[in-house]
Amino acid sequence: MSVTITQARPEGSPETATKELQQRVDRNRKRSNRASNLKREANRLCKQMYAFLQEEHPSIPQEDLNVLEKAGRQISSCATHALYREHLGGASPVEYIGAATCKHKICPVCNSERSKRLRRKWMDYLTANPKLLEEYDPMHLTLTVPHTAAHGFRGEQFYVMTLINIFKEMRRNVWFSGRPEVLPKYCEETGKLLRKGRDGIEGMVYAGEYGAEVTRNEHGMHFHIHSLVFVRKQLQNRNELHRHILLAWNWATMDQTATRQHFRPDELAAIKKGNKLLTDEDLAALVPQGSTLVGLESLFVMSDKRLGTSDKWDAEKRQWKHYVSKNNLKSLISGVMECLKYHFEPLALKKHGSPEYDFQLLLELLPKIFGKPLYQKFGAFRGVTELNINPPKDAAGEAAELLQDYAHEEVINPDTLEEAEREEYTYFVACVASVYHFNEHGLRPHVRRNAPRVYLDQARTMGHALRVMIDMSITKRE
């Protein structure tokens, strides 16, 4: 469930306060517009899915079609119940509060909500623990493997879980995660040494997290791992860690069906150019059938405008890559938010160059991602509950989580930017697909005139309204 974050009235000069309040209104309208557009995309997915299921598919087992039908039912129910705040009087401006979502991994709405929830939790955590960014160097690690349209990777077209498992095994290396200290153990009766002790070793990576991203091109599905790693400070820590990862990842991702069977001299030169610690012996140890696609770099933000003289142009994204300052906490947090943005990107489920969804791919994908985590924490972040993004398992838990975060917000009229008294607004529930936003009106939410909406006159607080909305969505599904 997505919720508008309305903070306390900003301090400072009246002009500054007014500007910040208007920015808050604009952010809310952008969130509302995005939620509505994603719900309409989810509706298109379900419409195409139902059309596919109506056709004859003698070669597809019925149980596979049932899985697809179940996914369609779940996604079609997503965000049909959303909570809005309507201000009374004047032009009756509307604010988006949040929607009851389906939690499905291929749902466009839910992937966006997961990404937003993840970034909010990290923003809060890093703000509360600034020493983490002072004592360690956060870096953006990108891992992938060569693949072909015919064979994928090692014969798998959907190889994301294989990629995740290889990454998991690599993190067990002592140079990555270290090893704990072990104390010697003696027999209480005889005093005989039962187990030798050993010193602990600090790995280069203190902690981190990762998520899987899926893109698609003429070579088929392409999977990446994007990982945020907090690296222990030392001279050349980037180059040293990159060298270890490159050598380990290359051997761990050997694929006999790979199209590359020999390195060209220019390929080896490019690999060596990316890390001055790589030796000729390191290059000789690389195997051409393994991946050399390892990216490890300082944090950055993507911008439509050039922010510094050292910025690099990214032709694929058509934006400038600006590396953030390591000495500025706000800049570092911005870089972390950019890194996390790649998690929960919409899965590349459409046919290449087409608005049509690939349901043959979905039939293969759904069983493989069912119950499998595509986002995880590791190292010292394992067990840090503040960074968990798994949704509550029941309506009461979902409402309690939202209340904990937003129960004390100040309500502002989007038109006047003044604090609103309780009698000056009300709550209603509607489907987000029935709310439209127009650029010429500053993305102001407009509810379709004949769209059904349910006013919650009995709800005196936002928490009460959220609980009622969640209960309505559950009753509808049942």
Residue with tokens 């993190």: 171
| CA distances, 76 to each of 100, 106, 108, 110 (Å) | 12, 12, 11, 12
What is the residue extent of each domain of the chain? Answer: 1-103+392-478, 109-183+193-297+326-390
CB-CB contact of 298 with 323 (8 Å): yes
Q: Measuring CA to CA, how many Å separate 269 from each of 134, 264, 430?
A: 35, 9, 59
Nearest Cα neighbor of 375 from 387, 363, 358, 393 is 387
Collapsing DSSP to helix, strand or coil, 8 comes out as coil
The pLDDT assigned to 200 comes to 64
Residue 298 structure tokens: 């300082």
Task: Return the H-helix or E-strand segment holding 303.
Answer: strand 300-303
Both tokens assigned to 404:
């904990």
Give yes or no for residue 281 having a pLDDT over 60: yes
Beta-ladder partners of 377: 209
Strand extents, DSSP E, 34-106: 82-87, 94-99
CA angle 49, 53, 55 (to 5 degrees): 125
Render pLDDT for 200-253 as a digit per residue (tens, 0 to 9).
Answer: 678 899 999 998 887 776 666 778 899 999 999 999 999 999 999 999 999 999
> Both tokens of residue 180?
């704990």
Query: Are 417 and 22 spatial neighbours (Cβ–Cβ below 8 Å)?
Result: yes
- Burial (0-12, 13-18, 19+ Cβ within 10 Å), 346: middle
CA dist 175 and 282 (Å) reads 16
Q: Is the pLDDT of residue 57 over 90?
A: no
Tell me what the mean pLDDT of segment 303-315 comes to.
88
CA dihedral 336, 341, 343, 344 (to 10 degrees): 150
Q: Are 110 and 103 in contact (CB under 8 A)?
A: yes
Kindly give, in sequence order, each residue whose CB lies less than 8 Å from that of residue 131, ignoring residues fewer than 6 positions away. Answer: none
More confident residue, 53 or 397: 53
The answer on pLDDT for 4 being more than 50 is no
Q: What mean pLDDT is reported for the chain? A: 85
Please give the C-alpha separations between residue 57 and each of 60, 67, 199, 360, 455, in angstroms, as whole numbers: 6, 14, 61, 11, 45
The confidence band for 148, taking pLDDT boundaries of 50, 70 and 90, is confident
pLDDT, tens only, 168-212: 999 999 999 987 766 677 777 787 766 666 666 788 999 999 988
Task: State how far the Cα of 176 lies from the Cα of 231, in Å rounded to an integer.
Answer: 9
Tokens of 156: 């798998």
Q: Are 126 and 133 in contact (CB under 8 A)?
A: yes
- pLDDT band, residue 398 (cuts 50/70/90): low
User: pLDDT at position 40, please?
Assistant: 95
Q: What is the pLDDT of residues 428-438, one digit of tens each?
A: 999 999 999 99
Least confident piece of the model among 132-146, 314-328, 362-376: 362-376
Across the range 304-327, mean pLDDT stands at 87
DSSP label of 342: T
Q: Which residue has the tokens 């005139």?
A: 449
Give the HSE-up count for residue 119: Cα atoms under 13 Å, Cβ half-sphere.
19
Strands (E), 165-293: 178-179, 185-186, 193-195, 201-202, 205-217, 220-232
Matching residue, tokens 């009851």: 100
Q: Is the pTM of this model over 0.75?
A: yes
Residues sharing a CB contact under 8 Å with residue 139, sequence separation 6 or more, in sequence order: 228, 229, 230, 231, 238, 241, 296, 297, 298, 299
